[in-house]
Amino acid sequence: MIARTFASVALAGAVVLAPTAAFAETYPAPDDALTCSATVVDQGQTFDCTVEGPNGASAQLQTTTSGDDATIAGTVTSAPKTIVNNVAEFTVTAPGTAGVIGISAIINGEAVDTASVNVAAATGGTDEELSSTGFENAGLAIGAGVLLVAGATTVFVAGRRRANVNA
């Protein structure tokens, strides 16, 4: 009887976990993507941005900022770089004023992805702000919940059958 219960639980687990593969995220990032090495930087700090796309394509970064520093206020587009090994890397220097930098990846003249980086006001201390985090595995949580319900149902049904056989 215990062997059948374990077999039922194993079968229910296999049935429940098979569809959760559809919830899995795909890595690496899809083609034509923009990723930056930081989400928060101090004034005047540098950070890297990577544009992913097809080999041989022309990639540019376009940044939009506002502030008192006339050399960086407004929209600035970088010189084009050729994508090699599906990657083009850019180094960006944050402006001298706090705010948000809007960054767009341009491949062959067409904007394909965006990102933003917050420029923090200089505090003079050594405290570093933690990056924001989030839960990215909702598929796993849903799969675990379904597996829990399936297991409980299997135990309930097996108990009812045993009660009917003993009666």
25's tokens: 């995220």
The pLDDT of residue 121 is above 60: yes
Q: How many helices (H) and strands (E) does the chain have?
A: 2, 9
DSSP category for residue 143: H
Among 48, 51, 49, which residue's Cα sits nearest to residue 31? 51
| pLDDT tens digits for range 22-50 | 565 554 445 788 889 888 888 888 899 99
Per this entry, what is the length of the chain? Answer: 167
**More confidently predicted of 113 and 12:** 113
